[in-house]
A and B are shown apart, each in its own frame.
Chain A
């Protein structure tokens, strides 16, 4: 363009009255609404995302507790809360017990909320928004108002999802995967709410993804070359690409399913579909498998959206607390790129049970095995980074260290699922539930806790309480495993998922003598898990109190309490609007923790030449 400008009549000199209307950088103090609700500052938006996502995580957890009660004590009224449930949800919770329909609604919404309203907004949108611009030395995101729109679309999506609990017929009941034709034939408008909510959430993700990619490409500070990016930024970069390119096919599918639900089309309804013994009115001719393909085209990449930002958080914390560079930074970068790319071509490993041919199944088995290689490289690099370090143990580091084996268990148990022969047996059992929860719950969620403890001082200038942090970690660690480990056993014994009676119908007690029934020892685990889950919930109380208490009363710390090298710790705390009083000049890699000549023995990534000298950027006011 530069070249082109010379060919045309010159524009007016820039610099005079800029018509900037993109970002309010007026210097007067903005009011409450502009500051906290309609803010376009990436830090405020990050915190908005964080608070909303944590609230949804808690809500989703609560749904799960209700489900676990129902599994352990089918059809018995929920203690304490039963009457309240009946009052709010009516006949679906008749007598204060959870009906099968309500169980299905809770199950579908638990998955949806945890994935799309909890983990993704916290891992990607909250941490990404808050930390990425700081880490790369940018004044804000590239498109601040689009950033704000992204949060508002997300919030609206959350509201739509939440409201659907209270409509007649209840919330969506076809699982977070919403398979057709089930999703179209259940008589509730909850599914339509679900679809509208999803379209909003997808829109929000797309806006966010565009912003992240553009920011990382365009707004890196001078000297911040690609190979000097903290690995967290790489992880977020790849995540953004996954969201950008994998979500739209699900949006397309969502529109098609909405048409099926609202306008009576048959995109996903086969010819002659009979519901409750009656052939329906629909024209037919559609394909239920088409939904599954479009769903899993997002669905699998989505699991990497859940895990990559978490790995990024862990990488930063590990490097910081081992006080040495990450082991194999380059391998980490290439691996995350490879994972991102490959994640688009493994999706049908969720569909081995749909009567696929051997050829295509072989293809997807092969890609699934291949993608586990870069995943394992990432995990190995993080493990090896610990080698020979003088490890500093603190709450963030504990959670980060907890992440490593938990993700290891989750990932390794995925391998048998990736092989069709084993998966035909394990598919739709509690083994799958255990597998993916090991990756997302003690995996991703631990990493997110680590991130919260780690960046809390950046946001508030105070540390969270260390003692209660450790209590939180150890209790969570023990109870998480008590919750999920037994599920492997249940699944291997053949207990299938999504049963509102927790398997009673297939139990040896109910049908004595039949082959392959669920023995009492397996059924008993349901009770164990219930109590472990309740204990896990109680273990979160110290965290919640700690979080709020520390905002006002935590130990005051300076701008760089962890003695970190990356740029996010080299701005004032909390960072002002525009982030950096002077433009940072990046002069070295992200993890120079072994720099004897420097104060504290570590070398910050950037230098801050006094304003006016050095670099030739377009002038700022």
Chain B
């Protein structure tokens, strides 16, 4: 006996198996990201007053990525529609676009990550803080031995709080310049990796998990676009279903970003 309803809808439920499967999976994904967003809100609500960062991320890059994902969501829908109207060539075109858009998204995302990893906050022994992008470390730079210098392009502040809200007029007006710092003056030096504070922690975790979803989705779509598209010749209806199901996953990933973008970049 074959498994029924792999292609056609079961009459009483009105859907085929894989469609139910993907929606169940997405329901669990809603709970997964629901848990993470809850964690975000609770951490933010529980942060000490004035210590939750604002404006730490590049809104321009975030916006571009938002539009890229929105576009890719649309090409995904069109790829499925192309299958439905039997235009295989157009399917190839649209899903080709989806893949390219997804890869560009990941490229921009990794640039943003890199930008955070070379961004340092250095607490000096005199109680001030230097904050900015790493320009260079001298060859003999060693924090433990207290030798050498490190150069940051950024600014000096008296109070860590000033580093938190970059949307404040004072922060906007700040002049960025190069600072050369002696290792011997450094109390603590840390980049803006996940360990930096709860904001970077949740930022890296949530966008990282989202990026993994993008990667997974891209692989699936790439498979269906390339080797998997052979099924078009043998069982076009089932192939169209596969495109629909993978598209639903892709749209969900876009949906997550629709909330991640404002939550991380805009507020």
Contact = CB atoms under 8 A, between A and B. Distances in A.
Direct contact between A and B judged by beta carbons closer than 8 A? yes
Interface of A: 1-2, 4-5, 8-9, 11-12, 14, 17-20, 22-23, 25, 138-140, 142-144, 146, 206, 209-211, 213-214, 217-219, 244-253, 255-256, 259, 263-267, 271, 282-283, 285-287, 290, 294, 297, 578-580, 583, 617-618, 620-621
B126 interface: no
Contact of A248 (B28, B39, B84, B193): B28
B201 A267 contact: yes
Interface residues of B, number: 57
Given A142-B21, A267-B198, A294-B35, 11 more contacts: A1-B9, A8-B86, A25-B2, A142-B17, A213-B24, A247-B28, A255-B209, A265-B198, A267-B205, A285-B198, A290-B42
Interface stretch (B43-51, B168-176, B217-225): B43-51
Interface of B: 1-10, 13-18, 20-21, 24-25, 27-29, 31-36, 38-39, 42-43, 46-48, 51, 84-86, 193-198, 201-202, 204-205, 209, 231, 234-238
A297 B24 CA distance: 19
A279 to B, nearest CB: 13
Contacts of B84: 4, 8
20 contacts: A1-B8, A5-B237, A18-B234, A19-B238, A138-B3, A139-B2, A217-B13, A219-B4, A244-B31, A245-B27, A245-B28, A246-B31, A248-B35, A252-B36, A256-B205, A263-B194, A267-B39, A267-B43, A297-B35, A579-B1
Nearest to B81: A8
Nearest to B240: A11
Contacts of A271: 48
A25 B231 CA distance: 18
Contacts of A18: 234-235
Contact of A287 (B3, B42, B237): B42
Nearest to B46: A287
A86 B83 CA distance: 64
9 smallest CB-CB distances across A and B, nearest first, come from A19-B234, A249-B35, A252-B35, A248-B32, A139-B1, A265-B201, A248-B31, A264-B195, A578-B1
A249 B34 contact: yes
Nearest to A17: B234
B8 A618 contact: yes
A66 B77 CA distance: 59
A401 B35 CA distance: 40
A60 B193 CA distance: 39
A266 B201 contact: yes
A24 to B, nearest CB: 12
Nearest to B45: A287
B1 A580 contact: yes
Contacts of A264: 194-195
Contact of A245 (B1, B16, B31): B31
A467 to B, nearest CB: 39
Contacts of A251: 32, 35
